[in-house]
Amino acid sequence: MMDYNLEIGASYTAEKIVGETDSAVSLGSGTLPVFATPAMILLMELAACQSVQDRLPEGVTTVGTMVSIQHLAATPLGAAVSATATLAEAAGRKLAFEVVATDANGIIGKGLHERTIVDVARFMSKIKGI
C-alpha cells in the first residue's frame, strides 16, 4: 500500500455567495429560499477534496464515502458562506475530515466527512459499463 504522507491538520476553506441554485427550493430538499443542506455538504466536500489534492500524485484523487453533518442555522440567499475541512485522520487510503461551515453569524453546520484515495484510471475503468 502506498504511503501518501498527508499531513494531519492540512486544511482548506471553500467560499461562495449563496445563490438561487443553492436554495432548498431549487435543490428540492425543502420549500424555503435558504441555503440548502445538500449545497452546504457540497461546499464541505469541495473543501475536503481541495485540502489534500495538491499533495497527491498525478492520476490520484479522492472520492467521498461518508458524511455525518449537522445543519445548525439557516442562511439567506445572497449571504457569504464558507466551509473549512481539516484532515483529522489518515489511515492508508481512508481519510477523515472535520468540517465546519460558517456565515456572518457564525457556525451554520459541522460534522465529519470521509474520503478514500483512488487511482483515477482504475476507478473509472470499473464504472464505464454502468
pLDDT bracket for residue 129 (50, 70, 90) = low
* Structural domain for 18, as ranges: 11-127
Q: Would residue 58 count as lying in a domain?
A: yes
pLDDT single digits (tens) 27-59: 999 999 999 999 999 999 999 999 999 999 999
CATH of the domain at 25: 3.10.129.10
**Is position 1 within any domain?**
no
pLDDT 10s digits, 93-104: 999 999 999 999
The count of domains in the chain is 1
Could you tell me if residue 105 is inside a domain? Answer: yes
> Which of 109, 103, 115, 114 is CA-nearest to residue 38?
109
Residues 85, 91, 94: CA angle, nearest 5 degrees:
60
Is residue 6, in this structure, part of any structural domain at all? no
Indicate whether 60 belongs to any domain.
yes
Per-chain mean pLDDT for the chain: 95
Is the pLDDT score of 2 beyond 80?
Answer: no
How far is residue 86's CA from residue 19's CA, in Å, rounded to a whole number? 25
Residue 85 covered by a domain: yes
Q: What is the pLDDT of residue 130?
A: 59
Q: What per-residue confidence (pLDDT) applies to 1?
A: 55
